Amino acid sequence: MNALTLPDVAAQVSRETLPLDWVGMCGIATPVLIDGQRLGATADAGVSLDDGTARGIHMSRLYVALEKLEDAPLAPSLMREILQQFLDSHEGLSRAASLSIHTDVLLKRPALVSPLAGWKSYPVSIEAHLENAMFHVELRIQIPYSSTCPCSAALARQLIQQQFVDDFANKRLEHAEVLAWLGSSNGIVATPHSQRSTATLTLCLNTDCNDMPLLAVIDNAEAALGTAVQTAVKRADEQAFALANGQNLMFCEDAARRLNAALSPLPSIVAGQVQVVHAESLHAHNAVAHSRWPREAP
Ligand SMILES: Nc1nc2c(ncn2[C@@H]2O[C@H](COP(=O)(O)OP(=O)(O)OP(=O)(O)O)[C@@H](O)[C@H]2O)c(=O)[nH]1
């Protein structure tokens, strides 16, 4: 076979001299190691093309650098190493590099009361950027939970009181009769509405972290909300869930404040933003609140 020289189009001079902000590949399949689990993920890898005369970047050099994801736990330090390799392999062409990883973290969560447990999937994205030795990493995670409207609960309580007045007007109160009434459908004549809700947390991580603080973030967030959606559920678990909802009535504003208070003290997080969306059953639209920290001085 003839030893032909392969044409290298990327090395050609571009006819139109124009630097590009980002060039790379999106949706590269890769495994990642998180908390000892090997997960399937996709990666978006790219660099800036600051040399406007160069025709193209060297995609294969970015692809090869992603091999590091196979064996080392995913951490800010690992992402920095990979980004540095992107830049080293594009010396003279690129000044900025970025890498995003998208995956679903699977966690086994215990039931509230029964000995059952089940798997829950949390969509996670980690975005890292390196430019002029400035490195930052952002973790985005979605957490589903239940929220019961405090206003609706108060309105339902008022109707229950009214029903009590109607049913027991001019009657001597008998303990057994009241108890039976409380257990009847008349005793709970109205119920508050509740909704499946989602918190999207965007967290700027401490770049010295040698692991991803996923479990700490999820555990803190779910404890602060008190009404995480459940996996395996027996009746005892459902009853405990009803109690948890009753004890944690939440407007979207309440949920955003709770999450801010729970996550902002974590040492692995230097700044953050919370977006909560309550998919209302009262309306066909959603109730939404945002909160971020640290807050700029007014
Ligand atoms: N830059 C660029 N490359 C592309 C694109 N689509 C496909 N490729 C291909 O990506 C492959 C890898 O490119 P390079 O990394 O430059 O490959 P190479 O020249 O063999 O590798 P080096 O010797 O390291 O430069 C080439 O075959 C390109 O044709 C594109 O839109 N832009």
| Residue 97, SS3 per DSSP | strand
Paired tokens of 111: 């039931």
Give the separation between CA 269 and CA 290, rounded to whole angstroms.
17
ipTM confidence:
0.90
What pLDDT tens digit does each residue of the chain (298 aa) get?
456 788 777 777 777 789 999 999 999 999 999 988 999 999 999 999 999 998 899 999 999 999 999 999 999 999 999 999 999 999 999 999 999 999 999 999 999 999 999 999 999 999 999 999 999 999 999 999 999 999 999 999 999 999 999 999 988 999 999 999 999 999 999 999 999 999 999 999 999 888 899 999 999 999 999 999 999 999 999 999 999 999 999 999 999 999 999 999 999 999 999 999 999 889 999 999 999 999 877 6
User: Strand order in 20-34's β-sheet?
Assistant: 20-34, 37-49, 96-110, 117-131, 134-148, 194-205, 269-278, 287-293
Indicate the top mutation candidate among 12, 60, 64 to test ligand 1's pocket, ranked by most ligand atoms within 8 A of CB: 60
Residue 16 lies in a domain: no
Q: Verify that 164 and 136 share a domain, yes or no.
A: no
Paired tokens of 256: 């955003």
- Per the structure, how many domains does the chain have? 2
Domain span at 181:
160-188
Which residue is closest in CA terms to ligand 1's atom 19?
Answer: 8
Q: Verify that 62 and 179 share a domain, yes or no.
A: no
Return the exposure string of 55-77: e unless at least 16 CB atoms fall within 10 Å of the residue's CB, then b.
Answer: eebbbeebeebbeebeeebbbbb
Residue 1 lies in a domain: no
Q: Verify that 229 and 123 share a domain, yes or no.
A: yes
Residue 2 lies in a domain: no
Ligand 1 binding pocket includes 56 (Cβ within 6 Å) = yes
What does the pLDDT read at residue 7? 78
Residue 42 lies in a domain: yes
Residue 45 Cα to ligand 1 midpoint, Å, equals: 14
Give the separation between CA 103 and CA 125, rounded to whole angstroms.
6
Residue 3 lies in a domain: no
The closest-lying atom of ligand 1 relative to the alpha carbon of residue 61 is: 15
Q: Verify that 121 and 97 share a domain, yes or no.
A: yes
Ligand 1 binding pocket includes 8 (Cβ within 6 Å) = yes
Regarding pTM above 0.95, the answer is no
Residue 104 lies in a domain: yes
Residue 73 Cα to ligand 1 midpoint, Å, equals: 28
